[in-house]
Structure 1
């Protein structure tokens, strides 16, 4: 299964997602950051259907609190997971792949919020959409360490990605982050301040950069 991992800039539209789908028609899944879709969910559903691609990330409902939600849209353009931030971790099995979904600082605040005995089978993949970049090198290292702990504890691969820009609470520092940790806690890749789009093959664990 080919996974496209993107680090778009914050935008009111989803033009960058459209462009990546046009350039990479063979991918099965696209992972994008927390809050990227804004209120363009219907358009994203149409894109998933048009390109026969699963879309996984986050979006915002501006009149709600918390505003951020986790979302998975299947190849048919149907929303198969829609979860409000800080609620219990949701899991979905799609095309034989059992996936969990955590949003941004849920990694630190609550990790995987579910009793292990309630999981009916092992998790294949955790997706971790992140909002903006890290505000310090120490935070960067903390989040990678926590991701490794989750991967080991649940014997699952975990993939995270942030926007290419934006800062947390007006911090002067924003370090874009993307990563993939294998189910044994080993590093597949860690991207620090490198916002190139990647295609990751889950079977071979090969990585292809689609832009420079």
Structure 2
């Protein structure tokens, strides 16, 4: 399976998503960050997934500017959708879905810190996605975040993949470390990237990562 890991700049249109899908039509799944698009563009994203026979994993903003989960399958159907879990509550469900024979888990941004207790244990879960809003606000947070992801990969015996936007900072603090990462089911590092927002294509079978040097993001 091939998964495109995109780190776009925040935008009001879908230009960066459209560019990536159109220029990489052989990928099976596209991962984009939390809150990449607005609810008004939902049908356009669904149409894009259907046209290119690609699963799109990302997050969107609703009419109240709240972040929500979204996985759109290759038929253009919204198959996983829910609100983002508040900080003081247990992880909302559903947080996994089976699609095309692959069991996909989902942790939206800081839900990563609810994963060890909140994700339903699945012996056959394959991949957990972690769409992230903006980059890390410190090196310490970067280490804490990726260490937590590694623990979840080992606990669930599943690959885990995360990616943030290329721009923006936490509560506009003015400091941001854009990141993307991937650990295999044994917690072994496949990808750790910070301050490098080039698009990557992950081959889950070979556990290899291709950097797209001429990325349109």
Query: Which TM-score tier does this pair reach, normalised by the shorter chain?
Result: over 0.9
Q: Does 1:95 align with 2:96?
A: no
Following TM superposition, by how much is the alpha carbon of 1:122 offset from its aligned partner in structure 2, in angstroms? 2.3
1:111 has 2:122 as partner: no
Match of 1:128 among 112, 127, 130: 130
Gaps of 5+ in 1: none
Q: State the 4+ residue runs in structure 1 displaced beyond 6 angstroms.
A: none
Shift of 1:89: 4.8
- The aligned counterpart of 1:180 is 182
Q: 1 CA distance for matches of 2:93 and 2:75?
A: 26
2:203 corresponding residue in structure 1: 201
Distance 1:71 1:115 in 2: 18
Q: Following TM superposition, by how much is the alpha carbon of 1:115 offset from its aligned partner in structure 2, in angstroms? A: 4.6
Structure-2 residue corresponding to 1:41: 42
Structure 2: distance between partners of 1:210 and 1:22: 14
**CA–CA separation in structure 2 for the residues paired with 1:80 and 1:89:** 10
Q: Secondary structure at the match of 2:146?
A: helix
SS of corresponding position for 2:105 = strand
1:89–1:100: 8 Å Cα contact kept in structure 2? no
Q: Secondary structure at the match of 1:199?
A: strand
Deviations, residues 59-85 of structure 1 (Å, cap 9, x unaligned) = 010326xx1111111111011111211
Alignment partners' CA distance in 2, 1:106 and 1:76: 27
- Structure 2 counterpart of 1:83: 82
Native 8 Å contact 1:89 1:114 kept in 2: no
Alpha-carbon distance in structure 2 between the residues aligned to 1:124 and 1:61: 29
In the other structure, the counterpart of 2:88 is none
TM-score, length-scaled by structure 2:
0.91
Q: Tell me how far apart the structure 2 counterparts of residues 211 and 198 of structure 1 sit (CA, whole Å).
A: 9
Alignment size in residue pairs = 206
The SS at the match of 1:203 is coil
Equivalent position of 2:161 in the other structure: 159
Question: Is the Cα contact below 8 Å between 2:80 and 2:94 reproduced in 1?
Answer: no
Residues 116-146 of structure 1, C-alpha deviations (whole Å, 9 max, x = no match): 3xx4x42111000000000000000000000
Once residues 119 and 145 of structure 2 are traced to their aligned partners in structure 1, the CA distance between those partners, rounded to angstroms, is 20
Relative to the length of structure 1, the TM-score reads 0.93
